[in-house]
A and B are shown apart, each in its own frame.
Chain A
Amino acid sequence: MDTIEPKGRSMKARTLDFARGRVDMSHGGGGRAMAQLIDEVFRSAFDNPVLDRGDDQALLDVGAGRIAFSTDSYVISPLFFPGGDIGSLAVHGTVNDLAMAGAVPQWLSSAFIIEEGFLLADLKRIADSMASAARAAGVAIVTGDTKVVERGKGDGVFINTAGIGVVPPGVDIHPRRARPGDAILVSGTIGDHGVAILSHRQGLAFETDIVSDSAPLHGLVAAMLTAAPDLHVLRDPTRGGVAATLNEIAQAAGVGMRLNESALPVRTQVRGACELLGLDPLNVANEGKLLAICAAADADRVLAAMRAHAFGRDAAIIGSVVEDPSRFVAMDTVFGGRRMVDWLTGEQLPRIC
């Protein structure tokens, strides 16, 4: 046979070495190396028909209801932490932002900014983690972008995800709907994510078995909406913790809040770490918890629905909305006094999400 077969290697710039290889500038250059990286790392992991079309945009079929649209960038350090990594966090964070409007999250975009020299093995690990987090959450990653920046111009990898979800007709969840008399609920123990990150910080490492609570919450929200369709407010208390989130809601709605410190669910290990470091669990970030505000008459039903869900087992009613022109969030302490729960000033911890 005299026919000339093209050599297989001509199709690929070179084989990606997932054992020792690193991202270099050519992986962001728009040439074959970039196409190969996208193909072998991202497209294979995120695998879905919309992405497979390989177009510059994803075309989505939208049914009835309003569209919820959200974006978030993830710059966490360290990239891998107990209970998750930047990849799973980038899925959960954006999914949760959609879920807090009662939306059913459906599609995500993912944009990577990778520092030259980043280990391919770590990149693959992150992409695979994103893919499995997306699958578990029932969302498809349908469009993406990859950029490589010179060494020293980034910190390993930054990820941006944007998400689209559909809010079913009749659902109206908004911070302005908090009304005096409403009950305030939290879906579980607070401060787990922040303490898990902190425990792995260089210069601060301490031994703890706390893992991040990073989780997608739209399933929990759906269960809550089934129990009580007229939920007033949902928010996930990420950066700034429960304290910042409740203050935001109080500001938006023009109301005050009264919390009961003894009702706050806090793990013993988290309390211990906070004692040691002089932190208040109310200011520490969460990535798999939500705060809910609903009519007092609905509170028990919502609580029961939360506790029946895997991501709401430790849910609790932690206080109530009150009339207060000053819009203060105050708390009756375990000790019997009352104090304000204020926003945190400055940075408690750098780059926790």
Chain B
Amino acid sequence: MATHKIRVEINGAEREAEVESRLLLVHLLRETLGMTGTHIGCDTTHCGACTVLLDGQPVKSCTVLAVQADGREVLTVEGLEKDGQLHPIQEGFWQEHGLQCGYCTPGMMLTGYALLQKSSDPGEPEIRQAISGNLCRCTGYVNIVKSVQYAAAKLRSAQ
């Protein structure tokens, strides 16, 4: 069985692991490293529950090999909070009731976070387009859109 020694910067910290070629990034996070904030939903590249940022871009970690992340940066939901302070995107989901069951929430927040890196004041169509690869079966997306806009406003006011 072929294994590879990989080094990945996860939420700002260097992590090393010896992984099988076929290990998926989501399994590296959840099983090898015990970081269960990233969820597995459909496991078939549809739902976006497993979304993480790879070098700043939102991707579905069920469809990336762990070994492909070697030498790269990964941001997961565990990396959003800093020093006990929720990131504005997390605060937005709290304030605007952007979740019900919470299953899609880590992925939604990371996709929203990535959108706000390149667009400081996105309108509803832009947000809905950005999250169109992340499925939510509870909210009807209305409050998720409001949550992202809450975060956008908060980030703008902090500048």
A and B are interacting partners: no
B residues neighboring A (CB under 8 Å):
none
A residues neighboring B (CB under 8 Å):
none
